Amino acid sequence: MKRIADSTVRRLSAYLRFLEDFENRGLTTISSAELARRGGTTSAQVRKDLSFFGSFGKRGLGYSVPELAGRLREILGLGREWRVVIVGAGKIGAALVQYRGFRQRGFNILAAYDNNPEKIGGVLEGIPVRDSVSLERDIAREQPDIVVLTVPGEVAQAVVDRIVASGVKAILNFAPAQLHAPADVTVKTVNMAMELEGLSFALTNRE
């Protein structure tokens, strides 16, 4: 398959949310214009985003809401359970564990890891907090698909090296660090300061 840009994948996730909203309101068909309006984009962009994955909708009739929603769930890999572990049982880790949206989408958080003796053996919003020394052994046994990294920036790369060596292929990184991983490992970084910079840019460059 052609390499799909991150921005396209984000729009697909957004379209799915709109479609589910339409489903809840009992709508059965939707035009690319309506999807575009909800997403703040253009009909041409919607059609282009979907065209990567085959042919959808009927000219003049629009898309079937349940059919397109189902297809988007498939494309996004949401038809199954994903096993997730969180490394770093701090405030961001706790915020993520309690986030209801994850389980709803099939993201099942197995455990959190920390090296703080006061946290190890405890429970974080119903999720066990384990000693990070057992990370490799647990990964070998439980085969998590995704690791969420919420450790301090200084130790982030060392943790990435350990989990990559253990065979994990997808990392969601909240640590303020530029991480290096082999090409077959997908690393997505959420950088809070960069999100705010998007706003300071917008405020600075207003017409």
Can residue 21 be called a binding residue for a second copy (CB under 8 A)?
yes
Using the minimum distance from each CB to a second copy, give the nearer residue, 135 or 179: 179
Stretch that binds a second copy, among 23-31, 55-63, 98-106, 126-134 (CB under 8 A): 98-106
Using the minimum distance from each CB to a second copy, give the nearer residue, 96 or 135: 96
Per the CB < 8 A criterion, the answer to whether 145 and 83 are in contact is yes
Number of residues that bind a second copy (CB under 8 A): 63
Q: How far apart are CA 130 and CA 153, in angstroms?
A: 20
Residue type, 102: F
How are the residues of the chain apportioned to helix, strand and coil, as percentages rounded to the nearest 5? 45, 20, 35
- Interface positions, 120-149, toward a second copy (CB under 8 A): 145-146
Stretch that binds a second copy, among 15-23, 61-69, 113-121, 135-143 (CB under 8 A): 15-23
The region, left, alpha or beta by phi > 0 then psi within -120 to 50, assigned to residue 40 is left
Taking CB atoms within 8 Å and a gap of at least 24, the contacts of 126-134 are 126/97, 127/86, 127/97, 129/89, 132/87, 132/159
Using the minimum distance from each CB to a second copy, give the nearer residue, 131 or 145: 145
Using the minimum distance from each CB to a second copy, give the nearer residue, 92 or 120: 92
Can residue 77 be called a binding residue for a second copy (CB under 8 A)?
yes
Q: How far apart are CA 138 and CA 140, in angstroms?
A: 5
Judged by the rule CB under 8 A, the positions of this chain that interact with a second copy are: 1, 4, 6-7, 9-10, 12-14, 17-18, 21, 38, 75-78, 82, 84, 90-92, 94-96, 98-102, 104-107, 145-146, 169-172, 176, 178, 184, 186, 188, 190-207
